[in-house]
Structure 1
Amino acid sequence: MQIPVEAVTATALIEVVRISGLPAGPGVPYPGRTVGHWVGDAVADVLARIGELPGSEQHRCGFSPGWGIRAYDDSLNADLVLLEAAFCFSCHEVRMRGIVVPPALTTQFFDADAPESQALLARFRSVAS
């Protein structure tokens, strides 16, 4: 998967979100409960893991993401999300938006069954426990 370099270099905090639905409109965050935060070395580790997710073909499920992240720079301004990524482990799709996300990276596909993807899913689940 491709992550904008600016997100990798500027992220100071990642919110982990248990997504509960689709956004109400364009530019609106995915609704859901923030279940945890990652800072410091965990930020770099998670972004590296996401960047290493192997690609996949599109699968159809209607896009029903269960997990997401929101990445912020050190200003922690909620209105300036560097990167929001919503992961659907059923259709192998990631949808991204944010101030550093170019249009070419807004929709990507990953192999949800790959060990890297399953490790990321386990990490999401562990922070929510």
Structure 2
Amino acid sequence: MQLPAEAVAATVLIQVVQISGLPTERDVAYPGKTVAHWTGSEAAAALTLIESLPGSAQHRCGFWPGWSVRAYDDSLDLALFEAAFCFTCHEVRMHGTAVPATLATQFFDPEAPPARNLLSLFRTTVS
């Protein structure tokens, strides 16, 4: 999966969100509960894991993501990007100040080891 390179380099904080619904408007944060904050090497490792997600074909499920990550630079103002993951339809939707249109929708293989590791990381944030 491809993330905006400059945003990855500038990221100092990642919020992990357990999504509770879909946004009511385009390019608005996904509603849900922030369940973790990752900084330093933990944030860098998560971004590397996300970037290692192998591509996949689209599967139709209606896009009901369960998790998102929001990346922030040191200003902690607006999110550089938010990536919402649907492990059923293999889709990631991204938006934010650093996301070009070409990266807004991507597909990943949820059965691949990196995807399973990412889902496991998400799930451990609520245990």
* TM superposition score category, shorter chain reference: over 0.9
Distance of 2:19 and 2:10 partners within structure 1: 24
Structure 1 length-normalised TM: 0.97
**Runs of 4+ off more than 2 Å:** none
Q: What amino acid maps onto 1:124 in structure 2? A: F
Distance of 1:16 and 1:123 partners within structure 2: 10
Structure 2 length-normalised TM: 0.98
Q: Which runs of 5+ in 2 are unaligned?
A: none
Superimposed CA distance per residue, residues 45-88 of structure 1 (whole angstroms, 9 cap, x where no aligned partner): 000000000000000000000000100001111xx110100000
Q: Which runs of 5+ in 1 are unaligned?
A: none
Match of 1:87 among 85, 88, 98: 85
Matched, 1:103 2:88: no
Residue number in structure 1 paired with 2:62: 62
Give the 3-state SS of the residue equivalent to 1:68 in structure 2. strand
Superimposed CA distance per residue, residues 98-121 of structure 1 (whole angstroms, 9 cap, x where no aligned partner): 111000000000001111100000
Give the 3-state SS of the residue equivalent to 1:47 in structure 2. helix
Give the 3-state SS of the residue equivalent to 2:45 in structure 1. helix
Residue number in structure 1 paired with 2:3: 3
Aligned residues: 127
Distance of 1:111 and 1:26 partners within structure 2: 25
